[in-house]
C-alpha cells in the first residue's frame, strides 16, 4: 500500500530528526582516557607521581650540574634574580637516549632536541600503559597533538660555527617534528599537530584531540606536552619580569604567593571515543566530557589574564559537556602562585561556581612547579589519578590563604591536607584549567570512569589452570632488566590476577626477537620462574631464545585422529591458518603463523620443522596448547593473541613498561 504524501513527509521528518540527533550527540561524545605515562620532577611514571602527591612531597631542587651553574647566571644581575634561577623542577636523562630502539642513527640523535627524544619514550610507554601494542596500531588513523614551546637546545646548536651545522639540525629541533616524529615512528596517519600557546599548550592539545576524535578525523590520539630546561636565559628573563618566586616555590592561593618556579617534564595520554574504548575492552581510566578554548583579547598588558575570558572558557566547557557548574566537586586550577594571576583566577571561579555547595581547589604546581607547555597535561594526569584513587592530595606551601578572598562566603575549599573523595550516587566530576601568558585559555571537564565492562562468558568458562606469559626485548640485557622489573612489580602489587597479567603482556606489548615464554599457573608460579630465568636455572615449562623474525618457520603437527578437541583448540588460536592434511603420514604441515604440538616421528624428520613437543597422556589439551605456544613463540611464530586472550580470560591492566638502554648523545 502506497503511503500518502502526508505520511511520507512525516516519515522523512522523523528520519531527518534522527540524523540531527545523531549529529548533535556526536558533537558531545565522551572521550575515554585509556592510557598515560609521564616524566615529572620526582616521578618517572604515573604510579610514582601519585605516590609523590599522596605523600605531599615537594619535588623542587637546586639546579643540577648538567644544566647551568651560578657562573652562567652571573650577568651583572642582582641577588634576587640569581636566586630566581637557582631552583627548579627537573627530570633525569637530559643528555641520554636510546636511538637504536627508535630506529635513529647515533649521529642524528645528537642533533635531536631532548624534548623530541623524551616525547618518543613517553609515547611508547603510554601505549604500553594502555596495553596497546605498537604493531597493533601501525598504519592506523591515530592523531598526535603535542604542546611544546622551549627552544633551548636549538639555540645551543645554532651558536656553533657554520661548519658544524649538520643535516639533522632542522628536523631535530623544529617544533612541527615533535608531533611529526611520533607519527612517523609509529606510522600513524591521523592529524599530527605541534602547538605553542605557552602555559596552556598541552591542554589546548587535549581540546584539539577531542574535536578530532568527535569529528572522526582520527580513531585514537596521543596527546600531551613537553618542556626541558637547558639554558638559564629564559629564567633570567622571567626574573626580570618579576614572574619567578625568589625562594623557588609555587605558593598557590597563599598570602605569601610571590611567583612560580620553572620546571620540566613530559606527559602523554592515550584517548579514544568512549564507545570504541568499551568495544575494545580498554582499561578506561577517566572520561573527558568536554572542553573549550578562548583568548583574553586586549588586557592591561599582553601577559595580564582576563577574568571574563576565564569565566567564559569554563562556562563553554560546561555547556560542551552538558553538565551544570554545581555538578563539579573538584577543580585542578592553573594556580601559578603569582599574586595577580591567583586573584584573577579566583575571581573567575567565584562567578562560575557561585551556586556550588563546595568546590575543592587543587594546585599541582605546589608539588612539581610550573611545567609551562607541559603544565596542563600534568594537571590532567593528577586529576585522573585522584579520581581513580578517590583521594585529593594536599596543596603544599599553604600557610595563610589569600586574605583578599572571603573564603567563608565562597564555596571554595583548599586541601591543606589530603581529602577522601568517595564515590556517590552521582559520578564524580572535576574541572581542569590551564591559562597561557599568551592569552590563550583552556578548560577541560573530567568524569570518573564508572564503566563496567561485561565479561565475555562467565568466569568459570574462562578460568584456566595454565596461562602463557611472554616477555621480549631488543637484546638480552634489556630482557633481563624487564624480567627484574616484573619481579619487583609483582612483589609490590600482590593482588594482581594471573589471567590479567598474561592477557596484558601478550596482547598489549610489541614482540621483539629476544624472547622469554613460560607456562604458568599462578602469580607465585610466575614469580618463581622469572627468578629462575634470572638465575639461569634450567626448568621445565620455561623457554628462552632469539627469534629470527625474517625467517619463515615451518611447523609440523601430528595428532591422533580422534583428538578432535585439541584440533579445535589449535585451530581457534591460530592466525590465518594454512593447514594441509596428509592422511598417509598422519601429520599436518602448518605455516609460520600456526600452532605446534607433535610427537617425535621419523616420518616427518625430512620436513622443514623447527621444534617438537611431546604429548603426554596425563596432560589436558589446554596445557598441551600453552606449552606448544610457548615454544613456538621463541621461534618467532605469530600467535593470535586476541583469540588466546578470549579463551584464557583476563583484562587490560597496568604493568611495567620497556626499559630503554640510554647513552649520552649531546653537543655542548
Which among 38, 84, 199, 556 is annotated as catalytic? 199
Residue with cell 605456544: 629
Rounded Cα–Cα distance for residues 395 and 418 (Å)? 8
Structural contact between residues 343 and 377, judged by C-beta atoms closer than 8 angstroms: no
Q: From the CB of residue 547, how many other CB atoms can be counted at a distance below 10 Å?
A: 19
Q: From the CB of residue 583, how many other CB atoms can be counted at a distance below 10 Å?
A: 7
For the question of residue 199 being annotated catalytic, the response is yes
Q: Pairing state of beta strands 142-147 and 192-195?
A: parallel
Which among 175, 370, 397, 514 is annotated as catalytic? 370
- Closest by CA to 375, choosing from 406, 335, 341, is 335
User: Exposed, middle or buried: residue 55 (CB in 10 Å: 0-12, 13-18, 19+)?
Assistant: exposed
Residue with cell 574462562: 462
- Closest by CA to 287, choosing from 377, 383, 190, 410, is 383
Structural contact between residues 279 and 34, judged by C-beta atoms closer than 8 angstroms: no
Structural contact between residues 255 and 626, judged by C-beta atoms closer than 8 angstroms: no
Rounded Cα–Cα distance for residues 104 and 502 (Å)? 31
Nine cell digits for residue 650: 583476563
E strand or H helix at 361:
strand 359-362
Angle separating helix axes 641-648 and 564-573, nearest 10 degrees: 130
| Cα angle for residues 96, 98, 101 (degrees, 5° grid) | 165
- Phi, psi of 483, deg, nearest 5: -60, -40
Nine cell digits for residue 595: 600452532
Rounded Cα–Cα distance for residues 3 and 597 (Å)? 64
Displacement of CA 656 from its chain's centroid (Å) = 13
For the question of residue 93 being annotated catalytic, the response is no
For the question of residue 495 being annotated catalytic, the response is no
| Cα angle for residues 518, 624, 613 (degrees, 5° grid) | 80
Rounded Cα–Cα distance for residues 546 and 634 (Å)? 7
Rounded Cα–Cα distance for residues 419 and 531 (Å)? 40
Which among 334, 397, 443, 511 is annotated as catalytic? 334
Q: Write the DSSP symbol of residue 163.
A: G
- Closest by CA to 199, choosing from 72, 94, 345, is 345
Rounded Cα–Cα distance for residues 438 and 451 (Å)? 38
Q: Pairing state of beta strands 579-582 and 587-590?
A: antiparallel
- Phi, psi of 248, deg, nearest 5: 65, 40
Structural contact between residues 513 and 549, judged by C-beta atoms closer than 8 angstroms: yes
The set of catalytic residues is 199, 334, 370
Amino acid at each position: 500500500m502506497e503511503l500518502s504524501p502526508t505520511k511520507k513527509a512525516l516519515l522523512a521528518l522523523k528520519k531527518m530528526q534522527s540524523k540531527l540527533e545523531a549529529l548533535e550527540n556526536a558533537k558531545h561524545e565522551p572521550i575515554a582516557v585509556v592510557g598515560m605515562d609521564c616524566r615529572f620532577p620526582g616521578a618517572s611514571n604515573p604510579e610514582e607521581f601519585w605516590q609523590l602527591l599522596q605523600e605531599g612531597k615537594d619535588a623542587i631542587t637546586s639546579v643540577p650540574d648538567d644544566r647551568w651553574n651560578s657562573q652562567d647566571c652571573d650577568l651583572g644581575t642582582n641577588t634576587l634574580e640569581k636566586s630566581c634561577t637557582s631552583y627548579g623542577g627537573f627530570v633525569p636523562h637530559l643528555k641520554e637516549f636510546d636511538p637504536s630502539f627508535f630506529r635513529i642513527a647515533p649521529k642524528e640523535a645528537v642533533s635531536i632536541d631532548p624534548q623530541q627524544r623524551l616525547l618518543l619514550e613517553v609515547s611508547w610507554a603510554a601505549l604500553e600503559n594502555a596495553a596497546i601494542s605498537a604493531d597493533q596500531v601501525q598504519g592506523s588513523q591515530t592523531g598526535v597533538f603535542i604542546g611544546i614551546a622551549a627552544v633551548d637546545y636549538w639555540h645551543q646548536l645554532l651558536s656553533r660555527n657554520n661548519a658544524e651545522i649538520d643535516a639533522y639540525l632542522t628536523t631535530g629541533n623544529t617544533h612541527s617534528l615533535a608531533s611529526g616524529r611520533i607519527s612517523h615512528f609509529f606510522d600513524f596517519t591521523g592529524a599530527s599537530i605541534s602547538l605553542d600557546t605557552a602555559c596552556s599548550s598541552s591542554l589546548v592539545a587535549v581540546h584539539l584531540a577531542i574535536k578530532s576524535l568527535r569529528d572522526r578525523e582520527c580513531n585514537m590520539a596521543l596527546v600531551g606536552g613537553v618542556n626541558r630546561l637547558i639554558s638559564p636565559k629564559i629564567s633570567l628573563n622571567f626574573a626580570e619580569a618579576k614572574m619567578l618566586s625568589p625562594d623557588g616555590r609555587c605558593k598557590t592561593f597563599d598570602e605569601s604567593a610571590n611567583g612560580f618556579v620553572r620546571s620540566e617534564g613530559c606527559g602523554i595520554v592515550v584517548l579514544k571515543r568512549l564507545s570504541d574504548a568499551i568495544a575494545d575492552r580498554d582499561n578506561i581510566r577517566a572520561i573527558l566530557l568536554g572542553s573549550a578554548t578562548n583568548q583574553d583579547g586586549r588586557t592591561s598588558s599582553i601577559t595580564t589574564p582576563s577574568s571574563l575570558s576565564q569565566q567564559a572558557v569554563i562556562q563553554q566547557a560546561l555547556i560542551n559537556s552538558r553538565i551544570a557548574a554545581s555538578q563539579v566537586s573538584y577543580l585542578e586550577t592553573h594556580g601559578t602562585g603569582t599574586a595577580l594571576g591567583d586573584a584573577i583566577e579566583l575571581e573567575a571561579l567565584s562567578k562560575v561556581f557561585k551556586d556550588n555547595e563546595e568546590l575543592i581547589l587543587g594546585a599541582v604546581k605546589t608539588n612539581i612547579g610550573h611545567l609551562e607547555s607541559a603544565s596542563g597535561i600534568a594537571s590532567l594526569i593528577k586529576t585522573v589519578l585522584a579520581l581513580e584513587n578517590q583521594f585529593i592530595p594536599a596543596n603544599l606551601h599553604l600557610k595563610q590563604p589569600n586574605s583578599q578572598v572571603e573564603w567563608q562566603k565562597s564555596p571554595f575549599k583548599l586541601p591543606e591536607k589530603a581529602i577522601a573523595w568517595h564515590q556517590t550516587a552521582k559520578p564524580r566530576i572535576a574541572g581542569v584549567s590551564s591559562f597561557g601568558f599568551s592569552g590563550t585559555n583552556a578548560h577541560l571537564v573530567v568524569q570518573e570512569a564508572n564503566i563496567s565492562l561485561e565479561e565475555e562468558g562467565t568466569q568459570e568458562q574462562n578460568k584456566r589452570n595454565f596461562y602463557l606469559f611472554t616477555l621480549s626485548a631488543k637484546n638480552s640485557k634489556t630482557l633481563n632488566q624487564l624480567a627484574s622489573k616484573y619481579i619487583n612489580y609483582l612483589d609490590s602489587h600482590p593482588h594482581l590476577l594471573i589471567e590479567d597479567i598474561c592477557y596484558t603482556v601478550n596482547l598489549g606489548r610489541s614482540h621483539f626477537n629476544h624472547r622469554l615464554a613460560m607456562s604458568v599457573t599462578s602469580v607465585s608460579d610466575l614469580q618463581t620462574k622469572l627468578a629462575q630465568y634470572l638465575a639461569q636455572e634450567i626448568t621445565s615449562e620455561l623457554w628462552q631464545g632469539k627469534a629470527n623474525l625474517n625467517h619463515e618457520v615451518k611447523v609440523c603437527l601430528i595428532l591422533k585422529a580422534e583428538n578432535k578437541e585439541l584440533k579445535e583448540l589449535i585451530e581457534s588460536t591460530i592466525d590465518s591458518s594454512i593447514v594441509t592434511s596428509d592422511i598417509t603420514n598422519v601429520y599436518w604441515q602448518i605455516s609460520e603463523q600456526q600452532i605446534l604440538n607433535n610427537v617425535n616421528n621419523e616420518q616427518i624428520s625430512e620436513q622443514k620443522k623447527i621444534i617438537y613437543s611431546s604429548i603426554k597422556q596425563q596432560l589436558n589439551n589446554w596445557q598441551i596448547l600453552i606449552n606448544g605456544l610457548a615454544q613456538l613463540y621463541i621461534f618467532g611464530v605469530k600467535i593470535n593473541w586476541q583469540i588466546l586472550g578470549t579463551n584464557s580470560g583476563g583484562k587490560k591492566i597496568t604493568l611495567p613498561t620497556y626499559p630503554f638502554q640510554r647513552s649520552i648523545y649531546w653537543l655542548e
